[in-house]
Chains A and B, each alone.
Chain A
Amino acid sequence: MSLDKATVARIARLARIRVEDEQLEPLRRELNNILGWVEQLGEVDTAGVEPMTSVTPMTLRTRVDAVTDGGYPEKVVANAPDGVEHFFAVPKVIE
């Protein structure tokens, strides 16, 4: 599978990273180079093999249903680049 420039642009868009048009081609080559290299995994016979879900054979541990956290809005927004009172603020979104 080889990436074209349109796919690179789509990936960049999905990842929300601005890529200038003139960067698309070099980026395409880089990504193709890496993807071409990892494609050797196709040779491995994995019929009947379960994909790894956790390296240590563990099941999910649970927590009791108690309120133990929160109540510190000032901490939550302490590092925010923009905000109003205890809200975060972003450029207006139109739904």
Chain B
Amino acid sequence: MSYRLQGATGEWEVVIGMEVHSQVVSNAKLFSGAATAFGAAPNSQVSLVDAAMPGMLPVINAHCVEQAVRTGLGLRAEINKVSVFDRKNYFYPDLPQGYQISQFTQPIVGKGVVTLDFPDRESVDVGITRLHLEQDAGKSLHDQDPTRSLIDLNRSGVALMEIVSEPDMRSPEEAGAFLRKLRAILRYLGTCDGNMEEGSMRADINVSVRKPGGDLGTRCEIKNVNSIRFLQQAIVYEAGRQIEIIEGGDEVRQETRLFDPNKGETRSMRSKEEAHDYRYFPDPDLMPLVLDDDFIERIRADLPELPDEKKARFVADLGLGAEDAGVLVAEREIADYFEAVAAGRDARTAANWVIGNLFGALNKSGKTILQCPVAPAQLGALIDLITDGTLSNRLAKEVFEVMFETGRDAEAVIDEKGLRQVSDSGAIEGLVDGILAANPDKVAEYRGGKDKLFGFFVGQVMKATQGKANPQIVNEILKKKLSE
């Protein structure tokens, strides 16, 4: 059951911890009033503070503090009522101050937990060591000029939450599940948009290997992995590399590595080779951050329902199976979509439609739930048409496909394609009469006891109505007529 890597000397276990940098959703930066929007012109979202002009001073953004506390509560973590901002000193051109304002010894959030659910096995609790607030650095562009690197400070000073996990993951699958779950929680909370392509969420992965149950091995840190697929590739590659080193009689060197998505490999980072000595000390430009109980409780009272609670409610109150509920809560937008569809309807039918037909269509078209052409109300109306007998399940699927392509309402599609189910008893009676009259021998055989022929008559009616006859009414009328 456990994930094991096969080496020349036997099985190995991989041990994974993560540091996830999540950009805080805020209008302005952590310590300045410059904007945080993605993709602006170079140095256009930079204040004098962000550019570290002489004499510039930081003033903290209240909303970023609130977002960190909200996230901490969402991670079921301790909130530290007193936290301290420290300077992490190092030289790099995209770090204008020559230090990053971060939190070292006294972070704003302490220990918490994230629960990972799996369809086929027990859930896993991954410990959260801490969450702290810090400034992002600017961006260095190394490929725009033959001899120079260009520096854009638009990101410089944007608020990040660094969320540090315990080394509690044991497989690429668990690591992926952790990042996915964390992302879901942050998005539910509205504290980070989780957009990995734009870099609003980046993971540093700590990977080591050991003989199952043995002592922890030396770890390597893989920097700035920005997709779940790369995360898993990087872990597999890095674990394999370390096993090879150890089995070759060497020792793994603790270092910072970079994942190259093109080659699917990790490599040592030149710029990080120098021994670190960050000379942390409390930033004398900032006082300790003190939070009072009212502030924390006000945020707690405002917390949205989070995935774990939502899942429990879907199971207990809506009668969904755990697996379906888990799928539906994985993303806030999906859960919201589902709940809008299920409102006032049979939840299991709604769940089946969302997980079955809707997900299928989304997958096939490569769209996300937010790009879904069928609004929840439209899907709900379609389900209602099944319930009231206007559509059969089979017809409904056909209608849904058209709705997904065109974005039109079910009624409109039905009218246009003439897909409305024929439930008019008079019309069906007429058809049945005609069919019975045209097949006197079969009628006689049926009446003589050959019950199986009933299906033949149903088929004939359906054929005549191109499948639109309401099967229930067809059955009733046929039974009545044949027993006359």
A and B associate in one complex: yes
| A residues with CB within 8 A of B | 14, 16, 53-54, 58-73, 75-77, 82, 84-95
Q: Mark B278-299, 1 if CB is under 8 A from A, else 0.
A: 0100100011111000000000
Say how far B301's CB is from chain A's closest CB, in angstroms.
Answer: 20
**Contacting residues, chain B, for A69 (C-beta < 8 A):** 28, 32-34, 47-49
Among B60, B144, B151, B269, point to the contact of A60 (Cβ < 8 A): B60
In Å, the complex CA distance between A68 and B32 comes to 8
**Contacting residues, chain B, for A84 (C-beta < 8 A):** 144-145, 148, 150
Q: Is the CB of A95 within 8 A of B269?
A: yes
**Contacting residues, chain B, for A61 (C-beta < 8 A):** 59-60, 287
Does chain A have a CB within 8 A of B452?
Answer: no
Does chain A have a CB within 8 A of B63?
Answer: yes
Say how far A16's CB is from chain B's closest CB, in angstroms.
Answer: 5
Q: Is the CB of B59 within 8 A of A92?
A: no
In Å, the complex CA distance between A30 and B141 comes to 41
Q: Is the CB of B84 within 8 A of A66?
A: no
A67 nearest in chain B by CB position: B35
In Å, the complex CA distance between A82 and B396 comes to 66
Q: Is the CB of B271 within 8 A of A70?
A: no
Say how far A56's CB is from chain B's closest CB, in angstroms.
Answer: 9
**Contacting residues, chain A, for B27 (C-beta < 8 A):** 65-67
Does chain A have a CB within 8 A of B51?
Answer: yes
Among B61, B151, B269, point to the contact of A63 (Cβ < 8 A): B61
Can you name 24 A-B pairs with beta carbons within 8 Å?
A: A16-B91, A54-B288, A59-B288, A63-B61, A64-B63, A65-B28, A65-B61, A65-B62, A66-B27, A67-B27, A67-B34, A69-B49, A73-B44, A76-B153, A86-B43, A86-B44, A87-B42, A87-B144, A87-B152, A90-B148, A91-B147, A91-B149, A95-B142, A95-B270
In Å, the complex CA distance between A70 and B141 comes to 21
Does chain A have a CB within 8 A of B41?
Answer: yes
Q: Mark B29-47, 1 if CB is under 8 A from A, else 0.
A: 0001111000001111111
Say how far A21's CB is from chain B's closest CB, in angstroms.
Answer: 20
17 new A-B contacts at CB < 8 Å, known A63-B28, A76-B48, A88-B151: A60-B290, A61-B60, A62-B59, A62-B62, A63-B59, A69-B33, A69-B49, A70-B44, A73-B44, A75-B48, A77-B43, A84-B150, A89-B149, A89-B150, A92-B149, A93-B142, A95-B271
**How many residues from B make CB contacts under 8 Å with A?**
53
**Contacting residues, chain B, for A63 (C-beta < 8 A):** 28, 33, 59-62
Q: Is the CB of B277 within 8 A of A14?
A: yes
**Contacting residues, chain A, for B347 (C-beta < 8 A):** none
Q: Is the CB of B47 within 8 A of A60?
A: no
Q: Is the CB of B151 within 8 A of A89?
A: yes
With contact pairs A64-B62, A86-B44 given, residues A58 and B287 touching in the complex (Cβ less than 8 Å): yes
Residues of chain B in range 1-28 having any CB-CB distance to chain A below 8 Å: 26-28
**Contacting residues, chain B, for A91 (C-beta < 8 A):** 147-149
In Å, the complex CA distance between A88 and B52 comes to 13
Q: Is the CB of A86 within 8 A of B41?
A: yes
**Contacting residues, chain A, for B243 (C-beta < 8 A):** none
Q: Is the CB of B62 within 8 A of A93?
A: no
Does chain A have a CB within 8 A of B140?
Answer: yes
**Contacting residues, chain B, for A67 (C-beta < 8 A):** 27-28, 33-35
In Å, the complex CA distance between A88 and B289 comes to 34
In Å, the complex CA distance between A1 and B4 comes to 49
**Contacting residues, chain A, for B354 (C-beta < 8 A):** none
**Contacting residues, chain A, for B59 (C-beta < 8 A):** 61-63
In Å, the complex CA distance between A93 and B147 comes to 9
In Å, the complex CA distance between A90 and B288 comes to 35
Say how far B14's CB is from chain A's closest CB, in angstroms.
Answer: 26
B64 nearest in chain A by CB position: A65
Q: Which 9 A-B pairs have the closest CB atoms?
A: A65-B63, A68-B33, A70-B34, A62-B62, A69-B33, A69-B47, A87-B150, A73-B43, A59-B290
A64 nearest in chain B by CB position: B62
Q: Is the CB of A94 within 8 A of B47?
A: no
Among B33, B84, B149, B277, point to the contact of A93 (Cβ < 8 A): B149
**Contacting residues, chain A, for B48 (C-beta < 8 A):** 69, 75-76
Does chain A have a CB within 8 A of B65?
Answer: yes
Q: Is the CB of A89 within 8 A of B145?
A: yes
Say how far A8's CB is from chain B's closest CB, in angstroms.
Answer: 14
In Å, the complex CA distance between A87 and B141 comes to 10
Q: Is the CB of A76 within 8 A of B269?
A: no
**Contacting residues, chain B, for A93 (C-beta < 8 A):** 93, 140, 142, 149, 271
Give the interface centre of B35, B43, B45, B91 by most chain A CB atoms within 10 Å: B43
Does chain A have a CB within 8 A of B372?
Answer: no
Q: Is the CB of B26 within 8 A of A70?
A: no
Does chain A have a CB within 8 A of B395?
Answer: no
With contact pairs A59-B290, A95-B269, A95-B270 given, residues A70 and B33 touching in the complex (Cβ less than 8 Å): yes
Q: Is the CB of B62 within 8 A of A70?
A: no
Q: Is the CB of A66 within 8 A of B28?
A: yes
**Contacting residues, chain A, for B258 (C-beta < 8 A):** 95
B291 nearest in chain A by CB position: A59
